[in-house]
Structure 1
Amino acid sequence: MQWISNIFQPQILALLIPVIAIIAIFGNKALKAHHEHLERMEKIRNGIDPDAE
């Protein structure tokens, strides 16, 4: 349990919080792009031209 107290030191948190935020932002964008891709593929399967809009 020593590692938990080490993580909560201000020096570590100052580096850890921005890194986690950046990972979360890129993860969110990747999931959004994947969802949009799935919607586009479903439109194509249903015979709708997704570029016609």
Structure 2
Amino acid sequence: MDWIAKVFQPQILALLIPVIAIIAIFGNKALKAHHQHLERMEKIRNGIDPDANE
């Protein structure tokens, strides 16, 4: 449990919070892109042209 005390030191948190935020933002964007890809593939399987709306 000593590692928890080390992590919650202000010096460590000042670096850890932005790093975690950046990783979370990129992870969220990757999941959204993957979901859009799956939706596009499903439209193609169902015979719908996904580019017809543009």
TM-score (norm 2): 0.96
Deviations along 1:5-44, one digit per CA (max 9) or x if unpaired, are: 0000000000000000000000000000000000000000
Which runs of 5 or more residues in structure 1 are unaligned?
Answer: none
Identical-pair percentage: 91
Number of residues of Structure 1 aligned to a counterpart in Structure 2: 53
Runs of at least 4 residues off by over 6 Å: none
Between the aligned partners of 1:15 and 1:3, the Cα distance in structure 2 is: 16
- The 3-state SS of whatever aligns with 1:4 is helix
Gap runs ≥5 in structure 2: none
> What TM-score do the two structures reach when normalised by structure 1?
0.98
Corresponding position of 2:21: 21
Shift of 1:49: 0.3
For residue 48 of structure 1, report the CA deviation from its aligned partner.
0.3
